Structure 1
């Protein structure tokens, strides 16, 4: 005769078999992961190592002669040196500023053969035999140019970092206008602009950014220089005037 205890034991046994232990489950999962990763491990072991990248031989510097502000500079430059770095780091002309170094701000503007360019976007070796003018070359024999004088009279700068590029760009702008070069806002590009309006100035100076926001005074200064309001002045007299104004 089957006892009560025997009936209970026979009923519990299948339930125990259907509930594996936690240790057995973990062991099975680990074994499955190992089997699945084995083909990938063999493939990685059989993949040959990529050859080491060959470092290109450096090009030695060579003499490059640049004519800057009427003076010849013979510099030992690598072909990859930009005109901006050549002026600042090799020729010692620190007036030209490095702003974005990507041709977006205009702080590095210089004049090459009468044409304004971003010196950070061109190589120095490309300008041998050309005439380069930086902000240091705008004044002549201690006398400020009309554009420089107008910038001072109209307070066309604040921190002054962008000012060298602004001055070079404005100087070239006036020459371009006198030569009849049209701009995007010129009514008829087939004829010379009738006058140098504020819209013309803003468009032609759009490549030069002033982060201080002195745009209104910059436009006024260029207009004054164009109309003859920015007459040449002695550098010492201007500095003396600014010093007195600061002391007042």
Structure 2
């Protein structure tokens, strides 16, 4: 393999610094999975299902469509970075408590997309349509979505109480 065209990138993943030398054609989802970050699911690999959603500088991104060469200087967060000291994040705990998860395949992507959605400035409270639009890129075959929407509404109310 001709390594002359490879690129070197430096980034932060879940708070830890990393440096990689890689092919410019490597999808970020592939890179993250080789690092043991298996919450980054490989569903459709064409940006349709959201199972590979990660946060890049706080924005929810389908990592199957995002080239790893573009992460230079960026902060990447995966579901593995959400639990601190074995404790679930507020978003993870809300999903578990509400029963908004079933098989779990889509859950990491939904959690990360929800985290990004709740961080966006918006007129409160969210409408159901705003939540559905905000999570539209994350497909789930099990839940029917209503519990997901209810979970986001509950999280938003908790955020308001804590502000």
Please give the TM-score of this superposition, normalised by the length of structure 2: 0.89
Match of 1:80 in 2: 25
Q: 2:90 aligns with which of 130, 133, 146?
A: 146
Aligned to 2:36: 92
Shift of 1:63: 3.8
Greater helix content: 1
Alignment of 1:95-244 (within 5 A): 95-176=39-120, 179-180=121-122, 193-228=123-158
Q: Which moved more, 1:202-211 or 1:58-67?
A: 58-67
Deviation at 1:194, TM superposition (A): 4.1
Aligned residue pairs, count? 159
Matches of 1:209 and 1:218 in 2, distance apart? 11
Q: Which consecutive segments of 4 or more residues in structure 1 shift more than 6 A?
A: none
Residues 9 and 71, structure 2, Cα contact 8 Å, conserved in 1: no
**Structure 1 residue 141, shift from structure 2 partner:** 2.5
Secondary structure of the residue aligned to 2:64 is: helix
Unaligned runs of 5+ in 2: none
Conserved? CA contact 1:158–1:214, under 8 Å: no
For 1:64, the equivalent position in structure 2 comes to: 9
Output one character per residue of 1:184-210: Cα deviation in whole Å (capped at 9) or x when no partner: xxxxxxxxx342122221121111000
Compute the displacement of 1:62 (Å): 4.6
Q: Taking structure 1 as the reference length, what is the TM-score of the superposition? A: 0.60
Q: Secondary structure at the match of 1:228?
A: helix
Unaligned runs of 5+ in 1: 1-56, 181-192, 232-248
